[in-house]
Amino acid sequence: MNTATKLSGFTLGLAAVFGTAYGVGQLTGPVTPAAETRHDNTETGHTGGGNEAGHTGADHTAGATDHLPGGLLVSDRGYTLQPVTAPAGEFAFRITGPDGQPVTRYDVAHDKRMHLIVARRDLSGFRHVHPELATDGTWRVASPLAGPGVWRAFADFTPTGGEPLTLGVDVTVPGELVERPLPTPVTSTTVDGYTVILSGAPQPGRTSQLTLTISRDGKPVTDLQPYLGAYGHLVALRQGDLAYLHVHPEGAPGDGRTPAGPAVSFAAEVPTAGTYRLFLDFRHGDAVHTAEFTVLAGDQAAPAPQAPATTAPTPDAGHGVPGHGHN
Ligand SMILES: [Cu+2]
């Protein structure tokens, strides 16, 4: 019934080649052979714990889940994201730890102990909110799920004594579903009266600089307000499986070299070619605004603006060839 839920168990290498999902184990984790060999990683432990910069994915000795983008797994390294029944208008969940008990101790990262990001499976409806932790380990927040659809909820956190994790789970809000086609790629967008221009293009497997420049009424905004310890926060979601990338800004407010706009730069690395939706949160006028962009990474980005980014077959690449793929 809910086919979207079955998309969550990607194997990264296969995703790059076929752009499509293999069979997955839904809530129990991936069952592909490649993934099975990875499970011993969780048992042998992580000697690299505390290496907060170790998210580049370049270390071949690391466990396989280290190679996966965030957000694809509902359970990883002993930690599991569990939605909890909540009153209407509220969203609640907990994280259980390796001992099966709800986790109650978290490290602060980007000013918060828990970042909850939600988006519909069609990449609409993005929200980034900060739930409150109850003493029993339940996180609660006014529901950010704005309307019917299949949503992906990402919990981005660091359990005290553990490594940073982003777990993801599908949540269905019943009602009449309105499909929203992904907007075509552009380099300029407007939100709440601000114009945001994107320069730079993400390249698979290596770091690219993405710069977002913010203006209002034709004037550069030079008094951005810090938000979560930065002048901007950028989340990228991959179309197709909603792989989650939290991109770190270059520089920080108060470091003596990072201006408060109009440009905010990020070092971004996307794992594969594909279509991504970027969500830039920035704060100005005591309000947080979110600018959204569709971007193409890799060979799909080579030709000038393609019409709908979702279906265009690329004749020189393997995908799109009739009869290619499944058996
Ligand atoms: Cu957050």
Question: For residue range 125-152, what is the model confidence (pLDDT) as tens digits?
Answer: 999 999 999 999 999 999 999 999 999 9
User: Taking the CB of residue 223, how many other CB atoms lie within 10 A of it?
Assistant: 10
DSSP 7: G
Query: Residue 130 C-alpha to ligand 1 middle, in angstroms?
Result: 6
CA distance 320 to 307: 16
Res. 31 pLDDT band, cuts 50 70 90: very low
Ligand 1 centre distance from Cα of residue 111 (Å): 8
The per-residue pLDDT for 131 is 98
Mean predicted confidence (pLDDT) in 189-207: 95
Q: What is the pLDDT of residue 95?
A: 98
The torsion angles phi and psi of 17, rounded to 5 degrees, stand at: -85, -45
Residue 246 has what pLDDT? 77
Task: Please report which confidence band the pLDDT of residue 76 belongs to, taking 50, 70 and 90 as the band edges.
Answer: very high
pLDDT tens sequence across 148-168: 999 999 999 999 999 999 999
Summarize pLDDT for 210-260 with one digit per residue, the tens. 999 999 999 999 999 999 999 999 999 999 999 999 787 888 999 999 999
pLDDT of res. 277:
97
Phi and psi at residue 153, to the nearest 5°: -110, 125
How many angstroms is it from 183 CA to the middle of ligand 1? 25
What is the distance in A from the centroid of ligand 1 to the CA of 168?
15
pLDDT over 90 at 58, yes or no:
no
Global confidence as pTM:
0.73
pLDDT tens per residue, range 173-184: 999 988 899 999
CB atoms inside a 10 Å sphere around CB 136: 10
Cα distance between residue 316 and residue 327, in whole Å: 22
67 — pLDDT class (breaks 50, 70, 90): confident
Query: Ligand 1 mean position to 260 CA, how many Å?
Result: 19
Please state, in angstroms and rounded to a whole number, the distance separating the CA atoms of residues 266 and 245.
12
Please tell me the distance between residue 279's alpha carbon and the centre of ligand 1 in angstroms: 12
Could you tell me the distance, in angstroms and rounded to a whole number, from the CA of residue 164 to the centre of ligand 1? 13
State the pLDDT confidence band at 309, using cuts at 50, 70 and 90. Answer: very low
72 versus 110: the higher-pLDDT residue is 72
- pLDDT above 70: residue 122: yes
Task: Give me the chain's average pLDDT, please.
Answer: 78
For tokens 């830039």, the residue is 280
**Distance (Å, whole) CA 327 – CA 321:** 14
* Selected residue with higher pLDDT from 35 and 200: 200
- State residue 300's pLDDT score: 55
The alpha carbon of residue 36 and the mean position of all alpha carbons in its chain are separated, in whole angstroms, by: 24
User: How far is the centre of ligand 1, averaged over its atoms, from the C-alpha of 244 (Å)?
Assistant: 13
Q: Is the peptide bond before 220 cis (omega within 30 degrees of 0)?
A: no
Q: Provide the pLDDT for residue 3.
A: 37
Q: Report the separation in Å between the CA atom of 233 and the middle of ligand 1, taken as the mean of its atom positions.
A: 8
Residue pair 176/149 in contact (Cβ under 8 Å)? The answer is no
Contact 264, 211 (CB under 8 A): yes
pLDDT of residue 66: 64
Q: What pLDDT score does 68 carry?
A: 86
Ligand 1: distance of its center to the CA of 235 in Å?
10
Question: How large is the average pLDDT for residues 95-111?
Answer: 96
From ligand 1's centre to the CA of 109, what distance in Å? 9
Which residue in the block uniquely carries the two structure tokens 């901007």? 232
pLDDT value of residue 179 = 84
Model pLDDT, residue 47: 40
Question: CA–CA separation, 95 vs 78, rounded Å?
Answer: 10
- What pLDDT, on a 0 to 100 scale, did the predictor assign at position 39? 39
One-letter identity of residue 65:
T
Residues around ion ligand 1, judged by CB within 5 A, are: 115
The pLDDT, as a whole number, for residue 317 is 37
Do 10 and 241 touch, CB atoms closer than 8 A? Answer: yes
197 has a pLDDT exceeding 50: yes
**Long-range contacts of residues 126-131, Cβ cutoff 8 Å, at least 24 apart:** 126/235, 126/237, 126/277, 126/279, 126/290, 126/292, 128/233, 128/235, 128/279, 128/281, 128/290, 131/91, 131/92, 131/93
Average pLDDT over residues 273-279: 96
Tell me what the mean pLDDT of segment 288-313 comes to: 67
Residue 155 Rama label (left phi>0; alpha psi -120 to 50; beta): beta
Measured in Å, residue 173 CA sits from the centre of ligand 1 at 22
Residue 65 banded pLDDT, cuts 50, 70, 90: low
Joined tokens for residue 271: 């794992």
Measured from the Cβ of residue 27, the count of other Cβ atoms closer than 10 Å reads 16
